[in-house]
Amino acid sequence: MSNRNKILFMIPYLLWIILFVILPILLILWYSLTNQSQQFTLANFELFFHNGTFLKMMLNSFWYAFLITFVTLLVSYPAAYFLTKMKNQQIWLLLIILPTWINLLLKAYAFIGILSNSGLANQFLQLFGIGPVNILFTDFSFIFVATYIEIPFMILPIYNAIKEINPVIIQASEDLGASKWQTFKYVLWPLSWSGVESGIQAIFIPSLSLFMLTRLIGGNRVITLGTAIEEYFLTTMNWNMGATIGVVLIILMVAVMLLTGSKIKRKKVDL
Amino acid sequence: MKNRKIFARLYLYFILIILYVPIFYLIYFSFSSGKNMNKFQHFTLAHYQTLLQDNRLIAIFLNTVILALLSSLIATIIGTMGAIAISRVRSKKHKQTLLALNNVLMVSPDVIIGASFLVFFTALGIGLNFGSVLLSHIAFSVPIVVLMVLPRLNEMDYSLIDAARDLGANNYQVFSNVMIPAILPGIASGLFMALTYSLDDFAVTFFVTGNGFSTLSVEIYSRARQGIDLEINALSTVIFVFVLVLVLIYYFISTKRGKKARGIMRELIK
């Protein structure tokens, strides 16, 4: 390819990088460092770090994101492991991927019905004589629905990682007298860690921005960073404060990524 | 040993049931004549009738599809060109910088992308309508296309290009007859991912859309905030069937193609 062609190919892509990657970040940064009459100020950050509510909210969102990721991992790991032992794995995989193609909002909407006071969940509980429990609009319902949505995105990378392990290694561990737990702890888990890691990365960061779930399922009670950004930008129209929260979130994200040695998140998994 | 097998099976069935209960719950009540999702009243198709007569919703559905097709197509073109350009960058440092910038939108939370695009469009004086949503969808789909195409380019056998050149092919012929076919599978999966990103997006669209334009996700959100509306259930049945058909077609084509390829391989070995 000639040099001229090379530049020709690069232009639209570079334009995209400048316009939609660099410029928006700079704009967010600029908004966070100015007040509403566009004067330079550090007041937004001062408010963020001196006002207890913001710090509490930040801890809150990371705690929820951690819980969602942890519960998802707990449910998904055995499922991924068992999947590798099944016949017709392609069909099983297809069945697990299929629900991810149904719009997230529709699934959230379904849970409004299921978790309501006389919905399926409470009808089920009544079989055991437990009276109608208020499930909808609680922290529990938020974590439950978020976990539900993320499960397939955790199962698939772990499945792929376990699938790549040579079964001979597991057999060798068993032959050499390792207990089931030892085989898991010293062989299976370390060898499948790459999958677990990509699963965690695919879930942790997106869980910070599930503001639609906090609105629909959490009943506005669960306030996370994502919800706060949405509120400042679209409801109270205080873009400067919203941008400040955004900048803090970006910095934390970069820190987390540097710590874990990041790869990319994959929202969707190719069939 | 046998017990373990049964347990594994039961566990997987349990996961599948959890995954599908909400979907079938929606579909089940779309046929109920009641007003909520608690008790099935009588069988009725009334909600489907309302859906068919709901011009607003049908228009939004078409908007969503057109938006997805258009944005994924443009993103695929920009992304493929970008991937080709990146693969030609010699300096390792520049390459890494480009890839890092490429991945910024992949790792950012949707609210940040949405908020920053909103600020961006306002700063440039671009109105919030179909245009701003289209630009955003293109923007967040480009990096995944690059990531899908790049490995194909790296795997490509460059002696093929030299051979084509030796045989007298010009630049355009090399590009369209050698390079594109070699990376086509990557382009196809990039397009496919871009399509699903666009169809699936809620948060970014929610930020950058104005009064005049709405996608299905945004519409479902605003209706779900009002409470239960069984018309949405009817809509979800339609979407589920739509997705199911698409997946089956995709699955059928890919396995058939796989079989064909294997057949050819066997012939070759003989």
Q: Please, what CATH class does the domain formed by A48-260 belong to?
A: mainly alpha
Q: Tell whether B62 lies on the interface with A, counting CB pairs under 8 A.
A: no
Q: Report CA-CA distances (Å) from A225 to A65, B8, B25, B150, B173.
A: 11, 38, 31, 34, 52
What's the predicted TM-score (pTM) here?
A: 0.86
Interface test with B, best of A30, A103, A184 (most B CBs within 10 A): A103
The residue ranking higher by pLDDT, A256 or A214, is: A214
pLDDT above 80 (res A269):
no
Local confidence band at A33 (pLDDT 50, 70, 90 cut-offs): very high
Q: Nearest Cα to B231, choosing from B32, B20, B23, B40?
A: B32
Element (H, E) at A234: none
pLDDT digits (tens, 9 = 90+) for A3-15: 777 788 899 999 9
pLDDT digits (tens, 9 = 90+) for A140-193: 899 999 999 999 999 999 999 999 898 898 888 888 988 888 888 888 999 999
Q: Tell whether A9 lies on the interface with B, counting CB pairs under 8 A.
A: yes
In degrees and rounded to multiples of 5, residue B263 shows phi and psi of -60, -45
Mean pLDDT of chain A: 86
Q: Please, what CATH class does the domain formed by B54-269 belong to?
A: mainly alpha
pLDDT digits (tens, 9 = 90+) for A98-115: 888 888 899 999 998 898
Alpha-carbon gap, residue B83 to B77, rounded angstroms: 10
pLDDT digits (tens, 9 = 90+) for B116-145: 999 999 999 988 999 999 999 999 999 999
Local confidence band at A265 (pLDDT 50, 70, 90 cut-offs): very low
CB neighbour class for A174 (10 Å; exposed up to 12, middle 13-18, buried from 19): middle
pLDDT digits (tens, 9 = 90+) for A35-76: 888 888 888 898 888 888 888 888 888 899 999 999 999 999
Q: CB distance A268–B200 less than 8 Å?
A: yes
pLDDT above 50 (res B261):
yes
Local confidence band at A267 (pLDDT 50, 70, 90 cut-offs): very low
Q: Would you kindly state where each structural domain of chain B is located, as residue ranges?
A: 54-269
pLDDT above 50 (res B227):
yes
Q: Would you kindly state where each structural domain of chain A is located, as residue ranges?
A: 1-33, 48-260
| ipTM for the complex shown | 0.85
Sign of the CA dihedral running A212, A214, A216, A219: negative
Q: Tell whether A193 lies on the interface with B, counting CB pairs under 8 A.
A: no
